Amino acid sequence: MTDSFEVYFDEMLKKIRTKNFKTDSFDFKDEKPSLGAVISKNKVSAGAGIYIIYGEKDGQKSLLYIGKSGTIHNDGKLGIQGINKRLKKIQNGIPRDRFFREVINGAHSCHCPLDKLRIEWFETYKNGVGTPPFLVEAQLLAQYLAENGSLPPLNKEA
């Protein structure tokens, strides 16, 4: 039995996509160029927001990770780490360029090699306007957890 107030993950994501957020996506494969070069080429935002990483194999897409960038400090100001920088940081103690390549090749909770990663990002908060990234990330993670009984495979904790 479903609660009439229940919102499904895909519906939440669809609503986020229709907001007036700056958004885009790009693919990353286990080949040259580097992750940093792909991020630069695709003009990923330096703003605060969220990103969602999907694994793709033979045209089928599965959600692997939900993340955020842009810490909001006590005084309401944003930290300096935008989406473009956050995507290049460390995950599981490994630089993400290498980590993402390992994921594509079947490591880190992904049971088979993938064709590529699809990374979709949303700038959700700017100059005190919009929705703080931590709130959008928390809502998406909570809904994913409610529907699947777990977090996305590459999210260690919420």
Could you report the per-residue pLDDT of 57-105, keeping only the tens digit for each? 999 999 999 999 988 888 877 777 899 999 999 998 999 999 999 999 9
More confident site: 83 or 5: 83
Q: Report which residue type is found at 141.
A: L
Q: How many residues does the chain have?
A: 158
More confident site: 120 or 5: 120
Kindly state the DSSP code that residue 84 receives in the 8-state scheme. H
> Number of folded domains in the chain?
1
41's enclosing H/E stretch is helix 35-41
Residue 33 belongs to domain spanning:
9-148
The pLDDT of residue 4: 41
More confident site: 20 or 40: 40
The pLDDT of residue 157: 85
φ/ψ (deg, to 5) at 38:
-65, -40
More confident site: 15 or 141: 141
Tell me whether residue 155 is in a domain: no
Tell me whether residue 120 is in a domain: yes
Instruction: Determine the distance from the C-alpha atom of residue 139 to the mean position of all C-alpha atoms in its chain, rounded to a whole number.
Output: 13
Tell me whether residue 156 is in a domain: no
Please name which of 86, 106, 105 lies closest in space to residue 96, comparing C-alpha atoms: 86
The answer to whether residue 154 scores a pLDDT higher than 80 is yes
**Distance from C-alpha of 38 to C-alpha of 26, rounded to nearest angstrom:** 8
Taking the model in full, what pTM does it have?
A: 0.88
Tell me whether residue 50 is in a domain: yes
The answer to whether residue 2 scores a pLDDT higher than 50 is no
Tell me whether residue 56 is in a domain: yes
Q: 93 burial class (0-12, 13-18, 19+ CB within 10 angstroms)?
A: exposed
Q: How confident is the model at residue 7 (pLDDT cuts 50, 70, 90)?
A: low
More confident site: 75 or 33: 33
Tell me whether residue 29 is in a domain: yes
Tell me whether residue 4 is in a domain: no
Tell me whether residue 158 is in a domain: no
141-146 mean pLDDT: 93
Say whether 75 sits in a helix, a strand or coil: coil
